[in-house]
Amino acid sequence: MIKKPEFTRADVDIIRREEMYKRFFRVEKIFLRHKLFEGGWGKEIGRELFVRGEAVAVVLYDPKNDLIGMVEQFRVGALNEPNGPWCYEVVAGMLEEGESPEDVARRELIEEANIVPYAMEYICNYLSSPGGCDEKLHLFCGLCDLSQAGGIYGLPEEGEDIRFHILAADDVFAELLNGAFNNAAALICLQWLQLNRARLRVSASSE
């Protein structure tokens, strides 16, 4: 059994915060000190934090037809990637005030893929880059019929231009680690699906 970390939030002393940037995203500089493994408190340090909040990502799977739904869209952070800045991703979106992660998942599935799943499974949550960002992602698998799915979606008023692809599961898993899916949410969701694929197919065939 893995023990929890020795220290908690109570072992961090926030001295002051400075807002460095605020538009769609926000950047703060936090001055703090924290307890040390060898005892006592460390000296004051400053750390920049990219304040992004919580988000949701959903991999779509059709267990009866063994199909996976992936979205493709332009990403500015991938401008210098060998395969170019259009990325294969799972459906994703940010939490807004008052929403639950599953609320966001269902909203984004309609906006980005025009899909209403018949069941959802929670996979896990993770921090995308805790060294300098507070973003936390909640991952789901949405079970659905993808036999007639596909198309171009997104909200034009938000600059979205999203193509929804339907892919054979065998093809996806054959390409899983060769760079075609070069973002953490997609990789984690797809690896979970690879581990749970047989169970989901058996369950679907018995219904």
Annotated catalytic residue within 38, 97, 157, 158 = 158
Please report where in the chains the tokens 């769609």 appear, as a residue: 24
Residues 6+ apart with CB under 8 A from 61: 67, 68, 69, 141, 142, 143, 144, 146, 169, 193, 197, 200
* Angstrom distance (rounded) from CA 42 to CA 39: 9
Please report where in the chains the tokens 């934090």 appear, as a residue: 49
* Angstrom distance (rounded) from CA 86 to CA 79: 8
* Angstrom distance (rounded) from CA 138 to CA 79: 26
Provide the 3-class DSSP secondary structure of residue 31. Answer: strand
Is 6 labeled as catalytic in the residue annotation?
Answer: no
Q: How far is CA 86 from the centre of its chain?
A: 17
Taking CA atoms, 77 is separated from 55, 66, 87, 88, 183, in Å, by 17, 31, 10, 13, 11
Catalytic machinery residues = 158
